[in-house]
Amino acid sequence: MRFLFYLINGISLGSVYAIIALGYSMVYGIAKMLNFAHGDVIMVGGYAAFTSAVTLGLHPVLSIGVAIVVCTVLGVIIESVAYRPLLEASSSLAVLITAIGVSYFLQNLVLLIFGSNSKSFQSLIRIPGLSLAGGTLVISGEMIVTIVACIVIMLALTCFINRTKMGQAMLAVSEDKGAAQLMGINVNGTIALTFAIGSGLAAIAGVLLCSSYPSLTPYTGAMPGIKAFVAAVFGGIGSIPGAFLGGILLGIIEIFAKGYISTQLSDAIVFGVLIIVLLVRPTGLLGKKIQEKV
Amino acid sequence: MKNKKFRSNLITYGIVIAAFVIVQALQNAGRLSSLMTGMLVPICVYVVLAVSLNLVVGISGELSLGHAGFMCAGAFSGALFTNIVKENLTIGPLRLVLAMLIGSAVAALFGLAIGIPVLRLKGDYLAIVTLAFGEIIKNVMNIFFIGQDSNGFHFSTKDQFSLNMEPGGKVLLSGPMGITGTPKDATFLAGVILILVTLFVVLNLMDSRTGRAIMAIRDNRIAAESIGLNIMKHKLLAFTVSAALAGAAGSLYAHNLATLQAKKFDYNFSILALVFVVLGGIGNIRGSVIAAIVLTALPEMLRGLSNYRMLIYSVILIAMMLFTWAPRVLEWRERHFGRFLGKKIKEVE
């Protein structure tokens, strides 16, 4: 029973990672940058939902909507102000450092507005939990919603990318910017759209994360951001099923490591597994192998 | 050509020595605030960290995000050594030198062990794996307990009591609480000497046959391989030397702190070092030195702005990145300021 409990817990945490990783993976695929500010967008989403639900007293569904809108707008602004001028820079490290600057900026802005005290986030999910096996196995409403949301998002994204013109444009831009432009694709617009979707997903992840782990500080997003990136790499960065699989596996490994081995070492174990996977499959579980040509 | 390089290196050493003399003069005149005095050793540590990371990122061309891990290994081994011998060896400077040597040796071992698997990867995959290793080192250091009594050393990963020591035994390392009671052996002079040694090692390495091979591999791996350079050996050398220098810096850092805790060395620390490297100029050693000094002193200088200082720091960071890297800005600078501020944009073929 303990095993089942951990497993469901792990899938639920993994679903949050997967949602973040989907956004991360899309952004990486198209802009080829490690977006260190992604985790902080999650945190902003959490604060936006917190403010609209607690301070303004909006309906939970409405406050989730507010969080999504805030983060989407934020993502587009960050992209156009801080990243776009540097995407063509001679070193890809330039945009990485700018992302770190944006990350510091968001953390300190939130710190100034809301203070450093951790806010106790009341869960926005009003669905009752399930009690199985005579009450020995309780699955909370948050877990159910998280897992369902993750699956829905994954399917919707897959459809969007494979079935719509804009999705195809994204694939084209991530493959070859120059060629895409020659085919009449608005490259900057497509990149902005990718950031918008990625940040919107981060907002959803922020709300779900804070509903399950109800403490919100300006630094809440940093570690989940890194873990989600690990998940994206784990599954093969740039691949949507890969990000999903990587996220779920990472969540399960983390919860099992916490439950059976050691709470303090759980992060080390997660990173250890990542290293082993990458050494065996250097492009992740579902990543494409790119042949190097002279 | 040779002369030009030599002169350029001399200027770099000169900047460090001049900074040292000026700071000493200010300190003797009592013009240095206690806050700034407290920052001196950390600034030295950051300079060494930035220069050593530049060896990997700039010279060898691999993005490493685990530099804090090596620093952590060096810091803990150095501090452990000092705490073991502090009753028997009372000469501070000698103890510090030995601790730094031990710290850099341990960090070099870590660098070698981690480099062998990691350097097979490329680009961002390498970055994330080095980040992972850094976090693993931090997490593992966080659970160790080491004690010493007349029977020798005791190890545990649980808590202080499971060390099973005789009464009177002393705890050297107590898990998340870290190492306390390390004598404050670190001085500004020691820091400056470490910077000079680091510069000497890195600049000479760059100017040697090996260094040129490392740079050739960075510029075109396949071409370098085809003329018979051993890729792995050269990359590993740069990585290990860099780790060793970071370990020495860590050891110095540990001797400046009352409590040394592993959680200090998280990935943010590695990223901070990377910020210095990129802002100073990738592959530009003098730039790293200056960027590390300016960026460490900057938040302190902004202290008057109290709560807004980190916000302003981040805005300055973003603005500086745009100013130094954005192709449009570079073009504009070249058009309006010519050679003075304009940087020649490299044509990408």
pLDDT tens per residue across span B261-273? 888 888 888 988 9
Place of tokens 């502090």: B86
- Is residue B6 domain-resident? no
Give per-residue pLDDT as tens, B199-227: 999 999 998 999 999 999 999 888 999 99
- Is residue B27 domain-resident? no
Place of tokens 């035994």: B169
Indicate the residue type of A101. Answer: G
Query: What's the gap in Å between the CA of A203 and the closest CA on chain B?
Result: 22
The pTM for the full model equals: 0.86
Residues A38 and A48: their CA atoms lie apart, in Å, by 15
Q: Which two tokens stand for residue A220?
A: 């809440």
- Is residue B5 domain-resident? no
Q: Do A104 and B325 touch (CB under 8 A)?
A: no
Indicate the residue type of A212. Answer: S
Structural domain including B275 reads 33-307
Every domain of chain A and the residues it spans: 15-127+138-220
Indicate the residue type of B12. Answer: T
Residue of chain B whose alpha carbon sits nearest to that of A32? B124
> Which range among A42-56, A119-133, A210-224, B96-110 shows the weakest confidence by mean pLDDT?
A119-133
- Is residue B184 domain-resident? yes
Q: Which two tokens stand for residue A103?
A: 């990350």
B135 contacts in chain A (CB < 8 Å) = 267-268, 271
Q: Do A93 and B136 touch (CB under 8 A)?
A: no
Give per-residue pLDDT as tens, A219-265: 888 888 888 888 988 888 778 889 999 999 999 999 999 988 888 88
Produce one character per residue of B6-17: b if its CB has 16 or more CB atoms within 10 Å, e if not: eeebeebbeebe
- Is residue B244 domain-resident? yes
pLDDT, position B348: 41
Among the listed residues B45, B145, B150, the one whose alpha carbon sits nearest the alpha carbon of residue B103 = B45
Q: What is the CATH number of the domain that holds B167?
A: 1.10.3470
Indicate the residue type of A192. Answer: A
Residues B76 and A33: their CA atoms lie apart, in Å, by 34
| % residues pLDDT > 70 (chain B) | 95
Residue A210's Cα: distance from chain center in Å? Answer: 13
Among the listed residues B16, B40, B63, the one whose alpha carbon sits nearest the alpha carbon of residue B289 = B16
- Is residue B69 domain-resident? yes
* Mean pLDDT (chain B, rounded): 86
Helix (H, G, I), strand (E, B) or coil at A292: coil
Question: Is the CB of residue B49 less than 8 Å from the CB of residue B249?
Answer: yes
Kindly report each contact of residues A123-128 with a partner whose C-beta sits within 8 Å and lies 24 or more positions away, as own/partner: A123/A211, A123/A212, A123/A214, A124/A49, A124/A53, A124/A60, A124/A63, A124/A64, A124/A207, A124/A211, A125/A60, A125/A211, A126/A60
Judge whether residue B152 has pLDDT over 80: no
Residues B154 and B172: their CA atoms lie apart, in Å, by 10
Question: Which ranges of chain B does DSSP label H, i.e. alpha helix?
Answer: 2-28, 34-54, 67-85, 92-118, 123-141, 188-206, 209-219, 221-226, 231-254, 267-280, 285-301, 309-325, 327-337
Place of tokens 């003075």: B340
Residues A251 and A270: their CA atoms lie apart, in Å, by 9
Band (pLDDT 50/70/90 cuts) for residue A18 is very high
The interface residues of chain A toward chain B in range 233-252, judged by CB-CB distance below 8 A, are 233, 237
Place of tokens 């870290």: B178
Among the listed residues B271, B252, B239, B246, the one whose alpha carbon sits nearest the alpha carbon of residue B192 = B252
Average pLDDT over residues A267-273: 89
Nearest by CB to residue A282, choosing from B125, B267, B314, is B125
Nearest by CB to residue A109, choosing from B268, B311, B326, is B311
> Which range among A258-272, B128-142, B172-186 shows the weakest confidence by mean pLDDT?
B172-186
Query: What's the gap in Å between the CA of A238 and the closest CA on chain B?
Result: 12
Q: Which two tokens stand for residue B155?
A: 């190890």
Residues B114 and B312: their CA atoms lie apart, in Å, by 37
Residue of chain A whose alpha carbon sits nearest to that of B275? A97
Helix (H, G, I), strand (E, B) or coil at B146: strand
First to last CA, chain B: 27
Query: What's the gap in Å between the CA of A170 and the closest CA on chain B?
Result: 21
For residue B260, which phi and psi values (nearest 5 degrees)? -110, 115
Query: What's the gap in Å between the CA of B336 and the closest CA on chain A?
Result: 19
Please name the residues in contact with B329: beta carbons below 8 A apart, sequence gap of 6 or more.
A85, B322, B323
Residue of chain A whose alpha carbon sits nearest to that of B328? A85
Residue pairs between chains A and B whose CB atoms are closer than 8 Å: 130
Residue B341 has a CB neighbour count (10 Å cut-off) of 12
Q: What is the ipTM of this complex?
A: 0.85
Look at chain B and report how many structural domains it folds into.
1
- Is residue B287 domain-resident? yes
Measure Cα distances from A85 to A90, A95, A170, B109, B326 in Å. Answer: 12, 9, 19, 41, 5
Residues A101 and B318: their CA atoms lie apart, in Å, by 5
Query: What's the gap in Å between the CA of B187 and the closest CA on chain A?
Result: 31
Give B151-178 as a DSSP string: TEEEEESS-GGGG-PPTT-EEEEEGGG-
- Is residue B18 domain-resident? no
Q: Do A34 and B143 touch (CB under 8 A)?
A: no
DSSP H or E run through B96:
helix B92-118
